[in-house]
Amino acid sequence: MRSLLLVSVFLSCCSMTVSGRHPTCNFLQELEKDRVECRRSLKEDEASQAKVGGCKGMWDNISCWRWTSTGETLTVACPRVLKTVFGRNGNISRNCTPSGWSDVFPNITSACGTEAHQDKLLFYLVVQTLYTLGHSLSLVALTTGSAILCLFRRLHCTRNYIHLNLFLSFILRAVAVLVKDHILFNRSAQCSSQPSLVGCKVSLVIFQYFIMANFFWLLVEGLYLHTLLVVFVSENRHFSFYALIGWGIPMVFVSAWVVSRIFLEDTRCWETNDKMIPNLVINGPIGFSILVNFFLFISIFRILVQKLRCPDMGGSDQSQYRRLAKSTLLLIPLFGIHYVVFVSPSESIAEVYKIFFDLALGSFQGLVVAILYCFLNSEVQGELKRKWHSVCQDCRLRRSRRLNNVVVQNGTELPVQLHSGTQSILQSETTVL
């Protein structure tokens, strides 16, 4: 989550986010302020003394160049907007020649920008493209899987209810990310219609809630499976308790985070948590859920090893280890074990790898979960096959009725064919049943 906010902050403001407006609008707004200030300074120069010859002051759309005598060189600092983006304090110059101003030297990109910064920006753009693709594919797969789990009554049980809520949390998380990116990076939007700072904060609060709810539903999956293996409780009980963990606890912590931001750090759009208390309130529960799920994963892995080593289990050692490896790999995306690698609260530890794994690869987690626990599930496949056979039988019955109508209209010319067609339909129905 923190990595996603870091990418958003870097992409949207390498720019100014104080106003809570689109970064392009903020950039243009700051340029307009500099232009107005430059025009005012040039008018003051003209009013203070009449200057003959030389190069007239001008605004070149990014820097202000005041009057200079012929043959002199004017050196100014890098434009303020570029300092904000690149954080580099360089200088650029122009020569005043008899024919007018010369070109800027050194090149403004090399003087006021950095190659490393551009490489970093390219990396973030690649990450943004990957997690947009991942969330989009996950959204399609999760929506389809949720519809399947809802439509077939035979799939209604506590286990699938938990899967369904996990799917919903992934869907809300993906929607929140895509909508946030659309608001921040929609260059075609008019600057006059950009959201206010209040709307920016509200959207970020909703975003934080969906992210935390997704992590807590991953925790619910771990708790549920561990409870079934250890406590041997009934599968159809305690769903309300799991729902309270998945949706209720994140609401409490996000509300506490909002209060802490209002009273302790009410700055900008709340996209960064610089003070310790707001940072702990929003990131502490997520880190705790990741660690608890990791310990549950280790415990479940230990139980699976014990069950496979049981003398009653048939099969060779190779087949048992294959089953163990398969079970372990299936649990990794469901429990979100990959998040454990970068659960450290420090943002400086392996930042590039953390961002890539959290966002670029983590965005496909919903897609993987939907495939493994819905589309490849034997119960789901059985229901889909049963529904498909039912649809095929209905088609055959409709064709037989149309054939019957044709025979009735044309006399009794094809009674044997009709009887044999109907008999084959009844035989196929009996086979399916």
- Banded pLDDT at 380 (limits 50, 70, 90): confident
Residue 2's nearest CA partner among 269, 354, 289, 275 is: 354
**How much is the pLDDT for 415?**
44
Higher pLDDT, 86 or 393: 393
Q: Answer yes or no: is pLDDT of 63 > 80.
A: yes
Least confident of 241-250, 355-364, 369-378, 424-433: 424-433
- Banded pLDDT at 119 (limits 50, 70, 90): low
**How much is the pLDDT for 14?**
43
Q: Answer yes or no: is pLDDT of 391 > 90.
A: no
- Banded pLDDT at 7 (limits 50, 70, 90): very low
- Banded pLDDT at 65 (limits 50, 70, 90): confident
% residues pLDDT > 90 (the chain): 11
Mean pLDDT of the chain: 75
- Banded pLDDT at 166 (limits 50, 70, 90): very high
Which one of 47-61, 174-188, 216-230 scores highest in mean pLDDT? 216-230
Mean pLDDT of 171-200: 69
Mean pLDDT of 341-365: 68
**How much is the pLDDT for 139?**
92
**Bridge partners (DSSP) listed for residue 282:** none
**How much is the pLDDT for 234?**
56
**How much is the pLDDT for 312?**
59
Mean pLDDT of 372-378: 85
Which one of 199-208, 321-330, 346-355 scores highest in mean pLDDT? 199-208
- Banded pLDDT at 419 (limits 50, 70, 90): very low
Which one of 42-46, 234-238, 287-291 scores highest in mean pLDDT? 287-291
Least confident of 313-327, 356-370, 419-433: 419-433
Q: Answer yes or no: is pLDDT of 321 > 90.
A: no
% residues pLDDT > 70 (the chain): 70
Higher pLDDT, 318 or 372: 372
**How much is the pLDDT for 319?**
63
Q: Answer yes or no: is pLDDT of 376 > 50.
A: yes
**How much is the pLDDT for 26?**
65
pLDDT digits (tens, 9 = 90+) for 214-234: 999 999 988 888 888 776 555
Tokens standing for 120?
Answer: 């970093």
**How much is the pLDDT for 327?**
67
- Banded pLDDT at 365 (limits 50, 70, 90): confident
The b-or-e profile of 82-93 (16+ CB within 10 A means b, else e) is beebbeeebebe
